[in-house]
A = this chain, B = another copy of it.
Amino acid sequence: MATIAYEDLTPGRVVDLGKVEVDRDEMLEFARRFDPQPFHLDEEAGRNSVLGGLCASGWYTASLWMRAYVDHVLADSTSQGSPGGNELSWTAPVFPGDVLHFQLEVLSRRLSKSKPGLGLVEITGTADRGPDRVLRFTFLGMFGTRA
């Protein structure tokens, strides 16, 4: 049986998802494939943009958060995926070498009315660089109940 089920995700619970250093090479590889905007690819273009420097695609930052969420929570859980979220905010640019601290907080939860044994958990995921929040994502996670 998985360690983390619907019953464990109580509103107010905060889960530390660890820290990750942003790897410049992978950041650039991601941008070349999925988000080839100048400020994600080139130092000078980054400096000349409102973002202030060569910075990560927001999708890369979100994907790094996702990996931390899988490693720390989903891998040993009753997760059944997610229908999405109602907020995805890139609140500050992310630069190569930044150390990002990932966390999540459970906001609320309810049992599914249509699917017995399934619950919906509202979660806010965050990434912080020191005192600066760089990512906030609020979404619904679907988790099986223990029973």
Contacts and interface: CB of A to CB of B under 8 A. Distances in A.
Majority SS of interface residues in chain A?
mixed
Interface string A72-88: 00110001111111111
Given A80-B50, A81-B50, A64 B142 contact: no
Contacts of A85: 87-89
Measured as residues with beta carbon below 8 angstroms from the partner, the interface class of chain A is 35 or more
Contacts of A81: 37, 39, 49-51, 90, 93
Given A35-B63, A35-B70, A89 B84 contact: yes
A36 B83 contact: no
Interface in A9-31: 30
A35 B66 contact: yes
12 contacts: A34-B63, A36-B75, A37-B70, A37-B75, A37-B81, A39-B81, A49-B81, A58-B84, A81-B90, A84-B90, A84-B91, A88-B139
